[in-house]
Amino acid sequence: MTELLQQVISEIQKLPADQQDAIASRLMAELKDEHRWTEQFESTTDDQWDRLADLVRQEIASGDTAPLDEVFPVKP
């Protein structure tokens, strides 16, 4: 276990049980979600990636996309 994780667990242990369970539930959901994404990416074939890239290129060419700085504006 890393030192940072040990620090986090130490701080969580100071909380009431209901708050500990709430945090644990969020962490468990995050871990499950990460596992699903990893499985999905690992099972994606080169052909599927190529088709996805083609779709993205088509959306860009047709103007169906928004510039990143509009979606995620740079904050001063």
Residue 37 lies in a domain: yes
Residue 23 burial (C-beta neighbours within 10 Å; 0-12, 13-18, 19+): middle
7-44 pLDDT, tens digit each: 999 999 999 999 999 999 999 999 999 999 999 999 99
Does 68 have pLDDT greater than 90? no
Residue 35 lies in a domain: yes
Query: Total structural domains in the chain?
Result: 1
Residue 72 lies in a domain: no
* Percent of the chain with pLDDT strictly greater than 90: 83
Residue 32 lies in a domain: yes
Residue 52 lies in a domain: no
Residue 20: give the domain boundaries.
14-41
Does 76 have pLDDT greater than 80? no
Whole-prediction pTM = 0.63
* Percent of the chain with pLDDT strictly greater than 70: 100
Residue 2 lies in a domain: no
Distance of CA 7 to the CA centre of its chain: 23
- pLDDT for res 71: 87
